[in-house]
């Protein structure tokens, strides 16, 4: 990413990102300020609410400019281990494992067996399997929490954990993160996503 300084002041948030570095401080300025020559993504998110704005800036800082920008989302494709990452402007309240807003959706190529769809739905309503496309996605407020959810979903599919055990581990990992301890499941995917995962089904005759 070219060197630039983007300072966004929204509801007490001051986030400055440049050349891969970031700082966070407090402010009471109520509106966003962006340089006139700022890239499209920074211009788009300047008016976003505080939570999605913060996540968007962190994603730009880590992965660079998104491949697509609209008034309501930023989209990266094939960024890191993900097939797609989307930061949404509109927040979805979610109480599991602790109260937060889902704004960061991340997708991998993964084939979920038909008999495991219900288990994943019971595990986490923000973990969604798409049979035809062969995808598994997780939505949360942080990439670390998406890593955790997808890794636990895979454990459920592989029979390594029950739904109840996965939910308990998820909640415990979330709590320990607040204490400064991070589970290995929150650092990256614990498995490979290489291979054909799509399932076009068959014609009904």
Q: Are residues 29 and 99 in the same domain?
A: no
One domain, residues 101 and 18:
no
Whole-number pLDDT of residue 180 = 76
Same domain, yes or no: 202 and 104? yes
Q: How confident is the model at residue 34 (pLDDT cuts 50, 70, 90)?
A: low
Q: Which residue, of 49, 69, 89, is where some domain finishes?
A: 69
Per-residue pLDDT reduced to its tens digit, 91-132: 999 999 999 999 999 999 999 999 999 999 999 999 999 999
Q: Assess whether 124 and 157 both reside in one domain.
A: yes
Same domain, 109 and 48: no
Count how many domains the chain has: 2
Verify that 97 and 125 share a domain, yes or no.
yes
Determine the straight-line distance between the first and last CA of the chain, rounded to whole angstroms: 53
Domain end (from 22, 52, 69): 69
In Å, how far are 9, 30, 54, 141 from 16, measured between CA atoms? 10, 16, 10, 19
Domain that holds residue 32: 1-69
Threshold 0.95, pTM exceeds: no
85 and 32 fall within a common domain:
no
Q: Are residues 148 and 171 in the same domain?
A: yes
Same domain, 94 and 194: yes
Task: Provide the pLDDT for residue 193.
Answer: 86
**191 vs 194: CA distance, rounded Å:** 9
Q: Do both 28 and 96 map to the same domain?
A: no
Instruction: State whether 191 and 94 are in the same domain.
Output: yes
Name which of 20-34, 51-65, 135-149, 167-181 the model is least confident about. 20-34
Instruction: Tell me the two tokens of residue 39.
Output: 């890239």
């Amino acid at each position: 990413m070219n060197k630039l300084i983007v300072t966004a002041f929204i509801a007490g948030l001051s986030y400055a990102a440049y050349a891969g570095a970031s700082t966070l401080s407090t402010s009471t300025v109520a509106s966003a300020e962006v340089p006139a020559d700022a890239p499209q993504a920074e211009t788009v998110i300047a008016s976003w609410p505080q939570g999605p704005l913060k996540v968007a800036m962190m994603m730009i800082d880590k992965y660079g400019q998104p491949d697509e920008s609209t008034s309501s989302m930023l989209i990266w494709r094939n960024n890191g281990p993900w097939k797609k990452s989307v930061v949404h402007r509109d927040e979805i309240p979610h109480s599991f494992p602790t109260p937060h807003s889902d704004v960061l959706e991340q997708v991998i190529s993964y084939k979920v067996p038909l008999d495991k769809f219900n288990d994943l739905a019971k595990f986490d309503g923000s973990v969604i399997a798409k049979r035809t496309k062969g995808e598994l996605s997780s939505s949360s407020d942080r990439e670390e929490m998406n890593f955790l959810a997808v890794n636990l979903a895979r454990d459920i599919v592989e029979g390594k954990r029950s739904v109840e055990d996965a939910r308990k581990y998820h909640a415990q990992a979330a709590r320990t993160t607040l204490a400064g301890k991070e589970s290995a499941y929150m650092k990256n995917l614990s498995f490979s996503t290489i291979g054909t995962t799509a399932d076009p089904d068959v014609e009904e005759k």
